[in-house]
Amino acid sequence: MKGEIKRGLIYSLVALGISSVTLQVLLMRELLAYTGGNELVIGIYLSFWMLYTGLGSFLGRYFRVNVEKLVPLFQFILLAVSVIAYLSIPLLRIQHGDFISVIGVTDLILLTLLVLLLPCLVLGMLFPFISGALYEKGTGKVSSYSYGFEAAGNIVGGILIVVLLLIFMDNRSAWIFLIAVNIPAIIQSSGYLNGRYYRLILIAFSLGLLALWASTDIEARFEKRFLAGKELLASADTPYGRLVATGSGEQVNFFENSSPLFSTGDIVPVEEPVHLGMSFVPDPQNILVVASGNPGFIDELMKYKPGKIDYVTADPWAFRVIGEVIDIPEADVLDLVFTDPLIFLRDPGKGYDVILVLTPPPSTAAANRYYTTGFYDLCRSHLEDEGLLLTSLPGGGNYLNEADLQLHSLIYSTMDQTFSAVEIVSLNNNYFIAGNREITPDLFRHHQLLEGKNDYYNKDYLQPDLTAFRSEQLASQLDPETDVNSTLFPRGYYIQLRSWLSLFGFRMDYFLYPFLFLLLLFLIFLKPVQIGIFTGGFTVSAMQFLLMISFQSLYGDIYLAVALFIAVFMGGLSLGSLVFGKLVKDVRMRHLLLNQLWLLVSVLALPLMAWSVSTSQGASAVLVYSGFGLLTLIPGFLMGVHFGLGSVLTPGTVRGISSGNYAADLAGSALGAFIVSLFVFPLFGIFSSSYLLAGFNLLVIIIMLSRSKIVTLH
Amino acid sequence: MGNRISKRDFLRQGLTCACGLALTGPLFKAMAGLPGGNGLSGLAPPTKDLWKWSREAIHYISTPRGIKCKLCPQACDIEEGETGDCRTRTNVDGKLYTIAYGNPCAVHVDPIEKKPLYHFLPSSRSYSIATAGCNLACLNCQNWQISQSSPKETRNYDLMPGKVVEEAVENNCKSIAYTYSDPVAFYEYTLDTAKLARLQGIKNLMISAGYINEQPLRELAGYIDGANIDLKSFNDETYEMLNAGTLEPILNTLRILKEEGVWLEITNLVVPSWTDDMEMIRRMCGWLAEEGFVDSPLHFSRFHPTYKLKNLPPTPLSALEEAAGIAREEGINYVYIGNVPSHNSENTLCPGCGKAVIERRGFFIKSFNIKNGACMDCGTKIPGVWE
């Protein structure tokens, strides 16, 4: 093979890796944005991604023609179908009318199933094509080199896309990058082709795609359509999700990840929490607000002529978008803080008389961060002796179902652990007021000060006797013995997740058993080496999901960090598959078994690290990030070694080994991500899911050991 | 080939794996109950057995296909052991039973304006009850935790009809409101309670979507003093997609309540993207005027994101004001805007002289200028139940 062509194919493999991670991040962000930031989408998404890519890889082996000639064509097809897949998300939702009702879990699964089909199949096929063209007469060992080159591309792609998104903060630049990376790959790999026109056509079409993205803001065009005639006022991608401002009549609406943040002119959600919170303190001077960026709170607080208002948003980027559209009040006493609230609170600082936590309910792991013991402990350290904290949950109106009651009990217990007194007031929302002193409700303590200034929070609308009746009724139903909500036991999120699943009639038992049956089939019919690779894939993808959820519970910006996770994981994978030959000279089955055991140990390290983080509140971010990095890198490395060992232990041609083992790996990864995210995690949480995963690895080791007696090993 | 598996080995491996996986079921259940687990409650469907709060239902017939419920236009064919769409009516041994009788899950005392009823004993309080279940399935239901559940799934009070009336008297309530979910779903309980309440001089209020057949409605209307019917849209397709109902039966309910002399107010929730088409609102108001509902107060209510429509913003005030303007243009005399505190549309204006005959702010009456059912300034009759 000519050196130039070989270099071209190696670049193609790296470009494939870059494309894979970039596309993965772009599509996942798009789906997250349309599903209210519900992190469950990560698991469903990873599983279908792996499944389709595995299937593509498996099908790739059946192409009997000269695969090297297919490479440039499929590289172009990959670009084309990726663009179609990306744009089909808003298109399908417009078609289906989903933009006017919340998307359910079945729709989410179907949407993911449909959107990922073509790009992942093509991605999967390209891997055996390129590695086959590159090492047509190689052995299993060189198959793992291909794996390494592709993974190297993943790392480069992961890092570049994070940098790109941090700088430009939009998906459009990431698309231009994706297409631009592939054009040289098409040019290089088409060196195989004899027909000049064919080559020129492919290159021309690719350049056309690039020009299309560069010249038109396609996303904005879709967004306008998506808003069904409403005016798009502003939009931006932030590390926490997609922010959009729309206008309907005189009203301006702000959305984050398709969920409403707030609307102007809607006074009840603004007046109620502010004046209720202030009513518990005789002379509130220093106030901290942790909220979604609604400037309406500031106007209400200014009625008290306070000495200081610190306003921190759950998404520090929110004010930038909000400020583009509506006026944010300015005052000497007001300090808008552009930092994550948890980071802000970790700095020892002044004492507040009132802390108002007006964040969305814990329906995502990110939002759950503001309802945990860790968060309340931080708040308490910033409260004056007589100070109080107020937070709320959406009221159930006239009745709370079991899930909501459980959530209310959970938040009550969590606050009760930190504060000596917790009081509940049931109004439009249900409020929890906590402090380290006796709390006596007096809804209209500042009545004289507010006379005639409030539209809603006054004696005309709120009747203290009826409020007291409802509040007592609610308090009497709570279970104070409920477990608490913490960062790494995000029980609030679990409850909300299960509630969401049941809202759409999702019966776990109907879905779980077919998947367990599928798992059984794989364990019976795969050869021992492939069982090892399958289980490895299962374990690391499930771990990836659990790690991302843990990270999200701590920091809340997975929308950006997802690319880093993938890059670090792929780094480990690449390293493992490239160096395994140096670690093990004479590869035997027992090496695979030993490596499986190391995977098991790495799974157990996850709860250990989680425990360390949760017990060392205030540990430096560098340390925590390093912990997450290592826990992402090590399983990746072990999986790379696993794949390498498996490739050597599998007889056959490079293309056969690549596609067969790659397919087993990805099938395991798909099942791992799907079963763990949709069934195991919502039921057991992060810690118990890790134990179950370790148990599964142990079971597989036993099966492999027992099978090793009946197979001939090298 | 050394790596081929014999039949015996296949069976052995299969059994090993199967046993391992079979253990996962009980293991799941066991671990879910451990600290840190989240429990498995809610996975099992509720049982359909009868209980203390069951009564034989009225308005059903036996057909060769089983029981057909004749209470509402859903006309459910309910097979043995099954339950109707409303989740409250079940077929046991060939008879239809309601399982929503004397077991409300929501019991509150509310200002009557909250229902909303603006022309019915203003400023009074209403003893409000609801059992679980509803014959519609609105995507925007504010009380979905009640309406989209079975009484077997909710935490219920034990409150038989006699006790409801006692409690209403004790709490100084002038009326009992059958509300929150829909009294059609707990029809027998509503009917029996209403009969007892009437004997005690307590008024009965039906706060409903009005999705009910003529015969049961006429029977109930004999004991109902006031009603607020939620006319959710004026389009059959929207009704089907948003509420799982149809329009015509509700229009029929309005006509029947009027004929039966029940004080009637109508609510229209303006949901962005669903029911905010002003042309549709004009057709609705035109129909109301044509059918003689010009004196039935019409409340345009602001939507807030809830249940399966959490991704929509609240209704813009301008949309509500436009709808109210259309209603007035079409000849509706009493038009209000709801869920917008301090809006001037809370007041009742005299259609004769245009003065405020009732000045409201929230649940309080600031001034009341009606005497003997007429405007104190110009004598125009102001329809309603004032005493």
Average pLDDT, stretch A481-501? 84
* Structure token pair of residue A569: 């994981």
CA distance B291 to chain A (A): 32
CA atoms within 13 A on the CB side of A13: 26
Q: Which of B217, B222, B118, B103 is nearest to B164 (CA)?
A: B103
**At residue A97, does pLDDT exceed 70?**
no
For B303, which residue in chain A has the nearest alpha carbon? A266
Split at pLDDT 50, 70, 90, the class of A656 is low
**At residue A155, does pLDDT exceed 80?**
no
Chain B partners within 8 Å of A684 (Cβ): 31-32, 36-38
3-state secondary structure of A35: coil
CB contact under 8 A, B42 and A498: yes
CA distance B104 to chain A (A): 11
Average pLDDT, stretch A626-636? 89
Chain A partners within 8 Å of B34 (Cβ): 688
Flag whether residue B149 sits within 8 Å of chain A, measured between CB atoms: yes
CB-based burial, B218-241: b 16+ in 10 Å, e otherwise: eebbebbbbbbbbbbbbbeebbee
* pLDDT at residue number B38: 39
Average pLDDT in chain B: 89
Split at pLDDT 50, 70, 90, the class of B266 is very high
User: Between A and B, how many residue pairs show a Cβ–Cβ distance under 8 A?
Assistant: 178
Compute and round to an integer the Cα radius of gyration of chain B: 25
CB contact under 8 A, A249 and B317: yes
Could you say which residues from 81 to 110 on chain B have a Cβ atom under 8 Å away from some Cβ of chain A?
105-106, 108-110
Split at pLDDT 50, 70, 90, the class of B315 is very high
Chain A partners within 8 Å of B272 (Cβ): 248
* pLDDT at residue number B4: 46
Could you tell me which residue, B283 or A369, shows the higher pLDDT? B283
Residue in A265, A401, A461 nearest the CB of B149: A401
B33-55 tens-digit pLDDT: 433 333 333 333 444 578 889 99
Flag whether residue B21 sits within 8 Å of chain A, measured between CB atoms: yes
CA distance A399 to chain B (A): 6
Q: Identify the residue among B1, B9, B17 best suited for mutation to test binding to A, counting A beta carbons within 10 A and taking the highest.
A: B17
CB contact under 8 A, B316 and A502: no
Q: Are A570 and A21 in contact (CB under 8 A)?
A: yes
* pLDDT at residue number B232: 97
Split at pLDDT 50, 70, 90, the class of A196 is low
Listed ranges A87-101, A309-323, B236-250; the one with the highest mean pLDDT: B236-250
Chain A partners within 8 Å of B109 (Cβ): 466, 469
Chain A partners within 8 Å of B17 (Cβ): 520, 523-524, 703
Average pLDDT, stretch B257-275? 96
B345-364 tens-digit pLDDT: 999 999 999 999 999 988 88
**At residue A579, does pLDDT exceed 90?**
no
Residue B94 CB neighbours (<10 A) = 9
DSSP state of A438: -
Spatial separation of the C-alpha atoms in residues A36 and A319, rounded to whole Å: 19
Residue in A251, A503, A703 nearest the CB of B317: A251
CA distance B43 to chain A (A): 7
* pLDDT at residue number B46: 47
CA distance B221 to chain A (A): 25
Could you tell me which residue, A295 or A319, shows the higher pLDDT? A295
Average pLDDT, stretch A167-172? 68
Chain B partners within 8 Å of A458 (Cβ): 362
Average pLDDT, stretch B208-214? 98
CB contact under 8 A, B311 and A268: no
Average pLDDT in chain A: 83
Split at pLDDT 50, 70, 90, the class of A515 is confident
CA distance B200 to chain A (A): 24
CA distance A503 to chain B (A): 8
**At residue A158, does pLDDT exceed 80?**
no
* pLDDT at residue number B43: 35
CB contact under 8 A, A688 and B37: yes
CB contact under 8 A, B314 and A507: no
Split at pLDDT 50, 70, 90, the class of A714 is very low
* pLDDT at residue number B5: 47
Flag whether residue B312 sits within 8 Å of chain A, measured between CB atoms: yes
CB contact under 8 A, B3 and A508: no
Spatial separation of the C-alpha atoms in residues A341 and A339, rounded to whole Å: 6
Is the four-CA dihedral A450, A451, A456, A461 of positive or negative sign? positive
Q: Are A180 and A578 in contact (CB under 8 A)?
A: no
CB contact under 8 A, A102 and B310: yes
* pLDDT at residue number A422: 96
Split at pLDDT 50, 70, 90, the class of B384 is very high
* Structure token pair of residue A448: 């004289």
ipTM of the complex: 0.85
SS (H, E, C) chain B: CCCCCCHHHHHHHHHHHHHHHHCHHHHHHHHHCCCCCCCCCCCCCCCCCCCCCCEECCCEEEECCEEEECCCCCCCEECCCCECCCCCEEEECCEEEECCCCCCCEEEEEEHHHCCCCCECCCCEEEEEECCCCCCCCCCCCCHHHHCCCCCCCCCCCCCHHHHHHHHHHCCCCEEEECCCCCCCCHHHHHHHHHHHHHCCCEEEEEECCCCCHHHHHHHHCCCCEEEEECCCCCHHHHHHHHCCCCHHHHHHHHHHHHCCCEEEEEEEECCCCCCCHHHHHHHHHHHHHCCCCCCCEEEEECCCCHHHCCCCCCCHHHHHHHHHHHHHCCCCCEEEECCCCCHHHCEECCCCCCEEEEEECCEEEEECEECCEECCCCCECCCECC
Residue in B146, B309, B364 nearest the CB of A460: B364
Chain B partners within 8 Å of A400 (Cβ): 145
* pLDDT at residue number A525: 80
CB contact under 8 A, B311 and A99: yes
CA distance B211 to chain A (A): 22
Residue in A397, A489, A519 nearest the CB of B142: A397
Residue in B20, B273, B313 nearest the CB of A263: B313
Flag whether residue B275 sits within 8 Å of chain A, measured between CB atoms: no
Name residue, tokens 């979507």. Answer: B209
Chain A partners within 8 Å of B309 (Cβ): 100-102
Average pLDDT, stretch A31-49? 79
Chain B partners within 8 Å of A470 (Cβ): 108
* pLDDT at residue number A142: 57
CA distance A250 to chain B (A): 7
